[in-house]
Structure 1
Amino acid sequence: MNKNQLILQLEQQGFSRHIIRAFEKVKREDFIPKNLKQYTYLNQPLPIEKDSTISQPTTIAFMLELLELDKLRRVASREPRFPRYSILEIGSGSGYVLELINHILPSSKIWGIEINKNLVKKSRKILKEDKNIKITKPENLSEDKFDRILASASYKETPTNLLNQLKEQGVLVCPVKDSIFQFKKQNNKVIKKEFPGFIFVPIQKE
């Protein structure tokens, strides 16, 4: 499968145009090991380090849809000065999803949390021109509340610490066991939706 075929598959599955445009612009091959370049645009996860993978494109697109970034884009387009939304990815790996988000919401402050030192080094090098993307450890975050949070690895149970880091009207998308959950914080309540049938590597801890 080549890039055009992948884009066609995303279109056929009905993903939003702003998400498809991000996949068109971002080169997935920049974020995977050289020995796997021939598999770049297959719709499957690929290993990038021990116990770390880059998720398959359709799964990433689905999670980005659940993040409801389009709502932030619509608000931003009405503002004379774009709001600087705060977005956090847990388990940012080689930085591919961070760059996709950056193309969707370029005015945002985007944080990536990654504990694999090799991946931190690689992703910082790849994304060095993107000044609004920061990859760090949890204790080095300069913000404690976020408009959107995405976890790219699976938790054993609902991570309440991430729910506590959501702003009002915020959205958390997070794999728990073999399901993807969407959590929305509205009027100090959390609305939860479950989407079963996914496989993720477990979240790694230091």
Structure 2
Amino acid sequence: MQNLIKELISQNYLKTPKIIEAFLKIKREDFTPEDFKKDAHLNIPLPIGHNQTISQPLTVAFMLELLQPKEGEKILDIGSGSGWTAVLLAYITGKKGRVCAVERIPELKEMGEKNASKYNFIKNGRIKFFCLDGSKGLPDEAPFDKIHVAAAAAQIPTALKDQLKIGGRLIMPVGDSSQELILLEKIGENQYKEKHYPGFVFVPLIKENK
């Protein structure tokens, strides 16, 4: 994984010292199913069951660099899956930060908790996992400094925009077969600035059937 991290730095995908440090300290293989641990150092998405994946390291690096998580922030991570990105975020935000990780599939929520517990981040309250419909966000814990969404939808759900602090950032893939990452910045009440980054593919955001 160290070689891959060096490559991501040389290609300018990883730039921020604290994000680089998190990639070095939080081992991707700790979040990868046994059958795929040997591939954890590769720059590819890997299956974690239930038709879901642990994201490609390049994509995670790109999204975190755009999101710019800071120490002490409260962050919502939607589509937490294996828990890797949630733990990276918890490392970056530090002892005074808090990460709320939302996963719709119960077995993956449990997997994320188990993986995160390897770093004691659940025990010390730096991460809490929820099994909920991510498209509705987490109103009881809002507002958030940053929101990271690792599953695609046709548009950014209004609930997520509402739960973002003014000055906060949200990163999310939007679209069906052809997707782009949208970086949204909340610049005022119901006022947003967007930047678009094409060329990504994510699993869909799962909603409750109601």
Aligned 8 A contact 2:75 2:100 in 1: yes
For structure 1, the residue ranges without an aligned partner over 5 or more in a row are: 74-83
Give 2:50's aligned residue. 50
Partners of 1:138 and 1:183 lie apart in 2 by 23
Contact persistence 1:10–1:20 (CA under 8 A): no
Compute the TM-score of the two structures, normalised by the length of structure 1: 0.88
Sequence identity of aligned pairs in percent?
A: 39
Task: Using the TM superposition, give the Cα deviation of residue 18 of structure 1 relative to its aligned residue in structure 2, in angstroms.
Answer: 1.7
Aligned to 1:125: 114
Kept in 2: contact 1:89–1:112 (CA 8 A): yes
Structure 2 CA distance for aligned equivalents of residues 55 and 63 of structure 1: 11
Equivalence for 1:136: 130
- Is the Cα contact below 8 Å between 2:150 and 2:173 reproduced in 1? yes
TM-score by length of 2: 0.86
State how far apart, in whole Å, the 2-side matches of 1:143 and 1:64 are.
Answer: 21
Match of 1:154 among 149, 152, 155: 152
Q: Which residue of 1 aligns with 2:18?
A: 18
Runs of 4 or more off by more than 2 Å in structure 1? 137-142
Using the alignment, how far apart are the partners of 1:141 and 1:32 within structure 2? 30
Asked whether the 8 Å contact 2:45–2:53 carries over to 1, the reply is: yes
Structure 2 unaligned segments of length 5 or more: list them. Answer: none
Cα distance in 1 for residues equivalent to 2:207 and 2:187: 30
Alpha carbon RMSD of aligned pairs, Å? 1.5
Separation (CA, whole Å) in 2 of partners of 1:138 and 1:86:
18
Give the drift of 1:103: 1.4
Q: 1:96 corresponds to which residue?
A: 84
Count of paired positions: 192
Greater mean alpha carbon deviation, residues 119-128 or residues 31-40: 119-128
